[in-house]
């Protein structure tokens, strides 16, 4: 099964998107097809055993749209095996042809499935040659410009032909202009209407084409046959076409704006980097970077690729990932994210992940997915849009009948005009655009702020969460516990206690284990056998043959270790610390205290969420006393401690059974089942690990305040969606009625209709301000 | 590490492709932290690190980018 994102050309309105989706879904081997009209792309999951990429392209063509061909020029290094290189290139997924051009150039043609310079170069390299990409003619902006130019030309023609019609010209002259309009700029809509009919869908093009054709036909008939006492409506036809084309153009511009966030992300990747090759530092094009390359990074430069620092130190602005522009200090061993900005310091680092798997590309993919996936509310809008146009056509026919047979008997002109008004003023686009554009801008803005919505559903549901369940360690707390107390029982030394604990904990990755091993002398020479980590309890194993336990009281009880001696030691749990009981050979040695500090913004966030009327819960495997103390510090009233992973899921289910919309906040690694069970799932503090599958929302920054931002963005986006839908439905109801009543003039209808779609788009674009506003706050 | 910002109105942005090209060119420059082009107002805003690059250099770069359009 392959999942790809294809650029689709020729979609004029949202109805086209639905048509294409349905057509593709009917194809054998296609599992999923989601089209984003505003972005001009289609996400497709298909079985590449049953269907090839070219089959898909053909299917798209049959539906009346186009999948473009992109090109790249490659220059092979001298002495390279041209045949082998061409073979290798042809095998790259998406490539449809490779041609040899003069002067050792290769022209590679490929489909827009995400093939980039790097992919082509790597293919050539694998064939044993080396090359340079000299020109790359591809990308979304490429097509947007193309579409816009086409519309502009049509628009200019329409205006040009309509202007003279404003003057009182001879009927025959008007007829000529009107005909030119009908078959010139008008073709745009007729072609669209034909496509609609062929695919058995009903879109706006059909309405406009019908309306303009009726007006033209009637006016032509009158112009050519009547001698006196008549009015021609070619002007209206011209104005109609002009205004609607203008509306379409504005739509394109707005649609382009909607995709601004992703484009900005992609711009953050530097075009070149200072790479060490053969011991010498060279400035190379970004796509020439290979995994393992050593790169020099200077202050003020953007980081060319993901990697790990080798030498030096720097301060990095990772706002493209986290939304926070406060520079983070990084030294040898730390990760760098490609696209982030080095504010100060120089480092050399080794490139690790490149291309599609890099953090930046993954974020882009995530935002694209959120923009394309059909959020539930969109499906509703699509369903309504389905019967909308036939409904309008029926209403137009009804209007005609009403006027011709009843209200003004025999007045063909009046009846026709009013019917056309109905056809023109109806705006199905607003319905189709209402949701997708808002979601597009919302998800893009979210990404700018470091709130990554992975799908439309998350964006749609987040704000509705009335109950929030927090995991404790790593979510509410910093997740970096420190060893605070070492309390051996009499007869045992501190060193002994610590070394036993540290020795067994070296095998565990748990944050608590790390706190112990950081301070203790974990002797790695000791032989550890039968090691086991028991979730919610602790660790056990044998050190040099002796049974050792390190965990909570529950663990020791289960192993039959007597806990009576514990009373002689201070109860660390009362101090909101985690108590680690250490036992060797069935005998208690003492306890260690580990404290995990609450995140600085926890209390503030909790208060804010509570003020919004949400119910807050904390779940933890820790003991009730520690949990209680942390919860009190944070301000959370509902706590469940001693919770095993399965219990977390059960708690969430219980809450859901009580009709609550539950949002689970965790670290994304240890809470997978719980995150999957919740209605809204948030993974915090993932940093550059954005491949977390289990959560619907990622907050790489690891700041709890981002959680309130996530709800805010979700709420505002959905508010815009509702506004758009209400407008779309309301506007249509009022205007169609007015048109049917004969209150409107054709030109007015055209203007209203255009303004309606543009209005919906502009309203959605308002969401962009959410991103910009934060900039000013810094 | 103090940021500096400069805003300037530009002439010569007529196509919708232009903001993209300007943004692209600006963001690649060493020292530029963030850039924004408001198409309808023809306003370019650049946030940069004055210790690495000067406003002069950036204005020159902007002029170069605009003339290349």
pLDDT of amino acid A508: 83
Confidence of residue A224 (pLDDT cuts 50, 70, 90): confident
Q: Give the pLDDT confidence of A468-523 residue by residue, as tens digits.
A: 999 887 788 887 778 888 889 888 888 888 888 888 888 887 778 888 888 766 56
Q: Are B20 and B39 in contact (CB under 8 A)?
A: no
Check pLDDT > 80 for residue A26.
yes
What gap in Å lies between CA A328 and CA A338, rounded to an integer?
14
pLDDT of amino acid A316: 92
**Known catalytic membership, residue A411:** no
What gap in Å lies between CA A317 and CA A297, rounded to an integer?
14
- Measured between CA atoms, the residue of chain A closest to residue B28 is A270
Q: Within A140-233, where are the H helices?
A: 140-162, 171-183, 187-198, 204-225
Confidence of residue A771 (pLDDT cuts 50, 70, 90): low
Alpha-carbon Rg for chain A in angstroms: 33
User: Would you call B49 an interface residue with chain A, using a CB distance cutoff of 8 Å?
Assistant: yes
What gap in Å lies between CA A653 and CA A630, rounded to an integer?
24
Report the SS3 class of residue A686. coil
- Measured between CA atoms, the residue of chain B closest to residue A269 is B28
Mean pLDDT, residues A330-335 taken together: 91
Non-local CB neighbours of A513 within 8 Å, separated by 6+ positions: A505, A506, A507, A539
Q: C-alpha distances in angstroms, B9 versus A267, A602, B14, B34?
A: 22, 43, 13, 17
What gap in Å lies between CA A722 and CA A489, rounded to an integer?
65
Residue pairs spanning A and B at CB distance below 8 A? 41
Check pLDDT > 80 for residue A575.
no
* B chain contacts of residue A776, beta-carbon cutoff 8 Å: none
For β-strands A341-344 and A314-317, DSSP reports them as antiparallel
Check pLDDT > 70 for residue A362.
yes
Check pLDDT > 50 for residue A607.
yes
* B chain contacts of residue A271, beta-carbon cutoff 8 Å: 28
Please give the structure tokens belonging to residue A50. Answer: 């049953």
What gap in Å lies between CA A715 and CA A717, rounded to an integer?
5
Strand partners, A549: A540, A583
What gap in Å lies between CA A613 and CA A51, rounded to an integer?
51
Contact B23 A315 (CB under 8 A): no
Of A431, A397, A493, A463, the C-alpha closest to A719 is: A463
> What percent of chain A is predicted at pLDDT more than 90?
23
User: Would you call B31 an interface residue with chain A, using a CB distance cutoff of 8 Å?
Assistant: yes
Contact B52 A299 (CB under 8 A): yes
Q: Dihedrals φ, ψ of A602, to 5°? A: -60, -55
- Measured between CA atoms, the residue of chain B closest to residue A145 is B17
Contact A263 B20 (CB under 8 A): yes
Non-local CB neighbours of A279 within 8 Å, separated by 6+ positions: none
Picking from B2, B19, B22, B28 by the largest number of A CB atoms within 10 A of its own CB, the best residue to mutate is: B28
Picking from B27, B38, B65 by the largest number of A CB atoms within 10 A of its own CB, the best residue to mutate is: B27
What gap in Å lies between CA A316 and CA B33, rounded to an integer?
11
What gap in Å lies between CA A46 and CA A25, rounded to an integer?
10
What gap in Å lies between CA A293 and CA A289, rounded to an integer?
7
Contact A341 B33 (CB under 8 A): yes
Q: Where are the domains of chain B?
A: 4-64
* B chain contacts of residue A340, beta-carbon cutoff 8 Å: none
Check pLDDT > 70 for residue A307.
yes
Show which residues on chain A lie within 8 Å of chain B, measured between beta carbons: 141, 144-145, 148, 253, 256, 263-264, 267-268, 270-271, 298-302, 315, 317, 325, 327, 341, 343-344, 772, 775
User: Would you call B17 an interface residue with chain A, using a CB distance cutoff of 8 Å?
Assistant: yes
Measured between CA atoms, how close is B8 to chain A, in angstroms?
17
Contact B52 A268 (CB under 8 A): no
Facing residue for B28 by CB, picked from A253, A271, A327: A271
pLDDT of amino acid A520: 63
* B chain contacts of residue A325, beta-carbon cutoff 8 Å: 33
Contact A343 B49 (CB under 8 A): yes
Catalytic entry in A205, A317, A471, A671: A471
All residue ranges of chain B with pLDDT < 50 are none
Mean pLDDT, residues A111-132 taken together: 85
Q: Are A317 and A273 in contact (CB under 8 A)?
A: no
Confidence of residue A572 (pLDDT cuts 50, 70, 90): confident
Q: Chain-centre distance of CA A431, in angstroms?
A: 22
Contact A300 B49 (CB under 8 A): yes
pLDDT of amino acid A522: 59
Contact B28 A317 (CB under 8 A): no
Please give the structure tokens belonging to residue A322. Answer: 């986290």
Q: Give the pLDDT confidence of A392-406 residue by residue, as tens digits.
A: 999 999 999 999 888
Check pLDDT > 80 for residue A383.
no
Helices A187-198 and A204-225 cross at an angle (nearest 10°) of 130
Please give the structure tokens belonging to residue A676. Answer: 């999957």
Q: Give the pLDDT confidence of A692-708 residue by residue, as tens digits.
A: 778 899 998 888 999 99
Mean pLDDT, residues A16-25 taken together: 83
Q: Which long-range contacts (CB under 8 A, 24 or more apart) does B23-26 make?
A: B23/A264, B23/A267, B24/A267, B25/B61, B25/B65, B26/B58, B26/B61, B26/B62, B26/B65
* B chain contacts of residue A326, beta-carbon cutoff 8 Å: none
A495: left (phi over 0), alpha (psi -120 to 50) or beta: alpha
Confidence of residue A777 (pLDDT cuts 50, 70, 90): very low
* B chain contacts of residue A267, beta-carbon cutoff 8 Å: 20, 23-24, 27
* A chain contacts of residue B31, beta-carbon cutoff 8 Å: 300
pLDDT of amino acid A774: 47
Check pLDDT > 50 for residue A775.
no
Check pLDDT > 90 for residue A456.
no
Check pLDDT > 60 for residue A120.
yes
Please give the structure tokens belonging to residue A563. Answer: 């806990």
pLDDT of amino acid A247: 85
Contact A264 B16 (CB under 8 A): no
Contact B1 A301 (CB under 8 A): no
Confidence of residue A377 (pLDDT cuts 50, 70, 90): confident
For β-strands A307-312 and A335-336, DSSP reports them as antiparallel
Check pLDDT > 50 for residue A742.
yes
Contact A144 B16 (CB under 8 A): yes
Q: Give the pLDDT confidence of A230-274 residue by residue, as tens digits.
A: 778 888 889 889 988 888 888 887 777 777 788 888 888 888 899
Q: Give the pLDDT confidence of A51-69 residue by residue, as tens digits.
A: 888 889 998 888 888 888 8
Q: Are A703 and A324 in contact (CB under 8 A)?
A: yes
pLDDT of amino acid A778: 41
What gap in Å lies between CA A325 and CA A284, rounded to an integer?
28
User: Would you call B28 an interface residue with chain A, using a CB distance cutoff of 8 Å?
Assistant: yes
Of A462, A450, A270, the C-alpha closest to A367 is: A450
* A chain contacts of residue B16, beta-carbon cutoff 8 Å: 144-145, 148, 253, 256
Write down the ipTM of this complex. 0.84
Confidence of residue A409 (pLDDT cuts 50, 70, 90): confident
Farthest CA pair distance, chain A: 121
Facing residue for A317 by CB, picked from B23, B28, B33: B33
DSSP letter string, A689-736? -----S-SEEETT--THHHHHHHHHHHHHHHHHHHHHHHHHHHHHHHH
Contact B16 A256 (CB under 8 A): yes
> What percent of chain A is predicted at pLDDT more than 70?
97
**Topology of domain B4-64, per CATH?**
Alpha-Beta Plaits (3.30.70)
Q: What domains are defined for chain A?
A: 2-62 (3.30.70.100), 291-353 (2.70.150.10), 439-478+598-711 (3.40.50.1000), 482-595 (3.40.1110.10)
Measured between CA atoms, how close is B49 to chain A, in angstroms?
7
Please give the structure tokens belonging to residue A396. Answer: 């137009």
């Amino acid at each position: 099964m392959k999942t790809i994102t294809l650029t689709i050309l020729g979609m004029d309105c949202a109805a086209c998107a639905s048509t294409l989706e349905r057509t593709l879904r009917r194809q054998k081997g296609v599992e999923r097809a989601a089209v984003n009209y505003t972005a001009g792309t289609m996400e497709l999951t298909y079985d590449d055993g049953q269907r090839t990429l070219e089959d898909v392209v053909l299917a798209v063509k049959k539906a009346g749209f186009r999948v473009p061909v992109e090109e790249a020029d490659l220059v092979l290094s001298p002495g390279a095996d041209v045949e082998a290189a061409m073979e290798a290139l042809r095998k790259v997924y998406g490539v449809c042809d490779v041609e040899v051009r003069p002067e050792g150039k290769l022209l590679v043609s490929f489909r827009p499935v995400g093939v980039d310079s790097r992919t082509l170069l790597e293919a050539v390299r694998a064939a044993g040659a080396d090359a340079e990409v000299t020109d790359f003619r591809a990308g979304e902006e490429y097509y947007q410009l193309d579409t816009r130019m086409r519309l502009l030309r049509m628009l200019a023609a329409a205006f040009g032909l309509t202007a003279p019609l404003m003057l009182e010209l001879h009927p025959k002259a008007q007829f000529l202009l009107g005909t030119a309009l009908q078959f010139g700029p008008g073709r745009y809509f007729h072609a669209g209407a034909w496509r609609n009919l062929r695919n058995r869908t009903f879109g706006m093009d059909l309405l406009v084409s019908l309306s303009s054709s009726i007006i033209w036909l009637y006016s032509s008939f009158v112009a050519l046959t009547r001698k006196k006492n008549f009015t021609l409506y070619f002007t209206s036809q011209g104005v109609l076409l002009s205004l609607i084309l203008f509306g379409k153009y504005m739509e394109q511009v707005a649609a382009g704006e909607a995709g601004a966030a992703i484009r900005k992300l992609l711009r953050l990747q530097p075009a070149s980097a200072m790479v060490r090759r053969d011991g010498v530092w060279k400035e190379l094009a970004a796509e020439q970077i290979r995994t393992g390359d050593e790169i020099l990074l200077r202050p003020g430069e953007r980081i060319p690729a993901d990697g790990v620092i080798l030498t030096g130190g720097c301060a990095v602005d990772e706002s493209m990932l986290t939304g926070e522009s406060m520079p983070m200090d990084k030294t040898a061993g730390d990760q760098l994210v490609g696209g982030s900005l080095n504010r100060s310091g120089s480092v050399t680092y080794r490139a690790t992940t490149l291309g599609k798997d890099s953090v930046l590309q993954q974020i882009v993919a995530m935002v694209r997915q959120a923009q394309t996936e059909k959020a539930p509310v969109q499906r509703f809008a699509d369903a309504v849009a389905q019967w909308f146009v036939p409904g309008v056509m029926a209403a137009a026919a009804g209007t005609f009948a009403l006027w011709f047979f009843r209200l003004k008997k025999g007045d063909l002109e009046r009846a026709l005009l009013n019917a056309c008004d109905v056809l023109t003023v109806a705006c199905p686009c607003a319905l189709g655009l209402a949701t997708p554009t808002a979601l597009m801008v919302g998800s893009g803005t979210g990404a700018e702020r470091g709130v990554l919505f992975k799908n439309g559903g998350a964006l749609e549901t987040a704000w509705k969460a009335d109950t929030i369940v927090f995991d404790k360690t790593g979510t509410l707390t910093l997740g970096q516990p420190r060893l605070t107390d070492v309390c051996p029982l009499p007869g045992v030394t501190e060193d002994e206690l610590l070394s036993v604990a540290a020795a067994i904990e070296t095998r565990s990755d748990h944050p608590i284990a790390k706190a112990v091993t950081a301070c203790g002398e974990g002797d790695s020479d000791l032989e550890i056998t039968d090691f086991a980590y028991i979730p919610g309890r602790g660790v056990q194993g044998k050190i040099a043959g002796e049974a050792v336990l390190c965990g909570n009281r529950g663990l020791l009880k289960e192993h039959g270790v007597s806990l009576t001696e514990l009373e002689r030691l201070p109860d660390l749990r009362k101090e909101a610390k985690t108590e680690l009981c250490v036992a060797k050979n069935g005998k208690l040695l003492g306890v260690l205290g580990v404290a995990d500090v609450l995140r600085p913004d926890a209390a503030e966030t909790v208060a804010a969420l509570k003020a919004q009327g949400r119910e807050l819960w904390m779940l933890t495997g820790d003991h009730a006393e520690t949990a209680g103390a942390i919860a009190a510090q944070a301000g959370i009233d509902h706590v469940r401690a001693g919770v095993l992973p399965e219990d977390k899921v059960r708690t969430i289910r219980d809450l859901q059974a009580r009709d609550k919309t539950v949002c689970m906040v965790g670290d994304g690694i240890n809470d997978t089942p719980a995150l999957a069970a919740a209605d809204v799932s948030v993974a915090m503090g993932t940093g550059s690990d954005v491949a977390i599958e289990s959560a619907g929302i990622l907050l790489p920054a690891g700041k709890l305040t981002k959680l309130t931002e996530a709800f805010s963005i979700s709420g505002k986006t959905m508010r815009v969606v509702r506004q758009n839908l209400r407008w779309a439905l309301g506007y249509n109801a009022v205007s169609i009625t007015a048109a049917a009543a004969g209150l409107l003039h054709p030109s007015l209808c055209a203007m209203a209709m255009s303004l309606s779609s543009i209005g919906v788009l502009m309203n959605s674009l308002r969401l962009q301000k959410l991103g910009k506003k934060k900039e000013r706050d810094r | 590490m103090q940021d500096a910002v400069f805003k300037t109105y530009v002439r010569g942005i007529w196509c919708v492709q232009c903001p993209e090209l300007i943004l692209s060119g600006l963001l690649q420059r060493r020292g530029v932290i963030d850039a924004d082009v408001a198409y309808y107002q023809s306003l370019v805003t650049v946030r940069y690190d004055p210790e690495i690059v000067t406003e002069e250099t950036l204005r020159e770069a902007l002029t170069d980018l605009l003339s290349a359009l």
